């Protein structure tokens, strides 16, 4: 990857994180999960997905589905920055005049399907991928799964079916931030060895640092095509990535910060002093 490309990706990711932080007030958002997969979503839109803002209904586009849903602020920020809709619309967050809320939905240009209930979109993605296969198309479907979401049985049901149907145009990406809602995955419901589990279900796996664009490039290039097997990229991430004051904190899952905290977090994002957070935290089990 050229230094220019890397700089471009990092600059966009920084802008997306600014949007996420701005969405974390006046009602708030699921900031931790959004920050953990911001780099993934930026990389997908810039380097992987074949989809253009003026062709969101092109049947030959690639699809991205957010199955865990809480990470939608990262998608809103990316879509707004890339011109899928006006950035000003982000100010409508949680207002009835628009459809920008805590989970994705199709009323927002560029968003393919709604989610919010965990464990659904790997099946929906398999249906989309199946249609592409039946039509002999080369486009692909990418589904971002939360690691906590892997608790859902329907994920493993869909894994069996997708492997059996040889959907090698289906790519799951696990945002492996090691947190469920507010407990560490390995404390509540251990998932490792995760690649082995997917491999046993007939999937190809790769594991990368989900915040390192060079590594993501390697990871996505590694995923071979036309092998008859669906793929999963396990992206090791950090919940709250980019804001040391909330990184890896179990109690900063959903947040509703004050305006002052938001201003300080924006500075923190750009390397200035860590923020003194005083707003209410979630109860941690």
Partner 1 sequence: MKTYEDFLREYAQQNDSLVVMTAENRAAIRNLPPHLGNRFIDVGICEQTMVGMAAGLALRGRKPVIHALATFLTLRAFEFIRTDIGIPGLPVTLVGGVPGFLSDGNGPTHQAIEDISILRGIPNMQVFCPADAVELAAGIPSIIDSGKPCYIRYYGGPAVVDHQPFEYGKAEWLATGTDVALLSYGFLIREVMSARKKLEAAGYSVSVINMRMLSPVDEETILRAGRSHQLVVTIEDHFLKGGLYSIVSEVYMKYLYDHNWGSSETLMMRETNMPYFTYHEDYRLAKVYPIALENRWFKPALLDRVLDHEGFTGEKLAHRIQTELKQKSILPSKN
State the residues that interact with partner 1 by CB under 8 A. Answer: 59, 106, 112-114, 117, 119-134, 154, 157-158, 160-161, 164-165
DSSP state of 44: I
H/E segment holding residue 99: none
User: How far is the C-alpha of 274 from the C-alpha of 244, rounded, in Å?
Assistant: 7
User: How far is the C-alpha of 23 from the C-alpha of 11, rounded, in Å?
Assistant: 19
Instruction: Using the minimum distance from each CB to partner 1, give the nearer residue, 134 or 283.
Output: 134
CA distances from 113 to 65, 109, 110, 167 (A): 7, 11, 9, 19
Terminal-residue alpha carbon distance, the chain: 43
Task: Name the token pair of 85.
Answer: 């809709």
Q: Of 104, 108, 123, which is closest to residue 29 (Cα–Cα)?
A: 104
Q: How far is the CB of 107 from partner 1 (least distance, A)?
A: 11
Instruction: Using the minimum distance from each CB to partner 1, give the nearer residue, 7 or 135.
Output: 135
Instruction: Using the minimum distance from each CB to partner 1, give the nearer residue, 125 or 240.
Output: 125
Q: How far is the CB of 157 from partner 1 (least distance, A)?
A: 4
Q: How far is the CB of 134 from partner 1 (least distance, A)?
A: 5
Q: How far is the CB of 82 from partner 1 (least distance, A)?
A: 22
Q: How far is the CB of 223 from partner 1 (least distance, A)?
A: 20
Of the CA atoms within 13 Å of residue 272, those in its CB half-sphere come to 9
H/E segment holding residue 64: strand 63-66
Q: How far is the CB of 8 from partner 1 (least distance, A)?
A: 32
Q: Of 2, 70, 89, which is closest to residue 32 (Cα–Cα)?
A: 70
Q: How far is the CB of 86 from partner 1 (least distance, A)?
A: 24
Instruction: Using the minimum distance from each CB to partner 1, give the nearer residue, 105 or 281.
Output: 105
Instruction: Using the minimum distance from each CB to partner 1, give the nearer residue, 81 or 112.
Output: 112
Report helix, strand or coil for 238: coil
Instruction: Using the minimum distance from each CB to partner 1, give the nearer residue, 173 or 238.
Output: 173
Of the CA atoms within 13 Å of residue 155, those in its CB half-sphere come to 22
Instruction: Using the minimum distance from each CB to partner 1, give the nearer residue, 156 or 222.
Output: 156
DSSP state of 25: B
- Beta carbons within 8 Å of 89's beta carbon, 6+ residues apart: 80, 98, 100
């Amino acid at each position: 990857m050229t230094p220019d490309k890397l700089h471009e990706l990092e600059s966009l990711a920084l802008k997306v994180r600014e949007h996420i932080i701005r969405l974390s007030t006046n009602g708030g958002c699921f900031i931790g999960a959004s920050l953990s997969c911001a780099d993934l979503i930026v990389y997908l839109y810039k380097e992987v997905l074949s989809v253009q803002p003026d062709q969101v209904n092109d049947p030959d586009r690639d699809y991205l589905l957010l199955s865990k849903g809480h990470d939608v602020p990262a998608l809103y920020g990316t879509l707004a920055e890339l011109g899928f809709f006006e950035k000003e619309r982000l100010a409508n967050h949680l207002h009835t005049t628009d459809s920008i809320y805590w989970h994705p939905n199709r009323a927002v240009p560029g968003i393919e399907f709604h989610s919010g209930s965990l464990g659904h979109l790997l099946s929906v993605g398999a249906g989309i991928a199946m249609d592409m296969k039946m039509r002999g198309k080369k486009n692909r479907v990418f589904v971002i799964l939360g690691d906590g979401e892997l608790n859902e049985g329907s994920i493993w049901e869909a894994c069996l079916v997708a492997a059996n149907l040889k959907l090698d145009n289906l790519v799951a990406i696990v945002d492996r931030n090691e947190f469920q809602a507010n407990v560490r995955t390995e404390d509540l419901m251990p998932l490792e060895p995760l690649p082995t589990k997917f491999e046993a279900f007939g999937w190809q796996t790769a594991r990368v640092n989900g915040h390192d664009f060079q590594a993501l490039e390697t990871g996505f290039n590694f995923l071979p095509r036309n092998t008859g097997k669906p793929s999963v990229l396990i992206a090791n991430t950090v919940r709250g990535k980019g804001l040391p004051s909330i990184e890896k904190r179990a109690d900063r899952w959903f947040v509703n910060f004050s305006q002052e905290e938001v201003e300080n977090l924006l500075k923190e994002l750009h390397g200035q002093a860590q923020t003194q957070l005083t707003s209410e935290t979630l109860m941690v089990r």
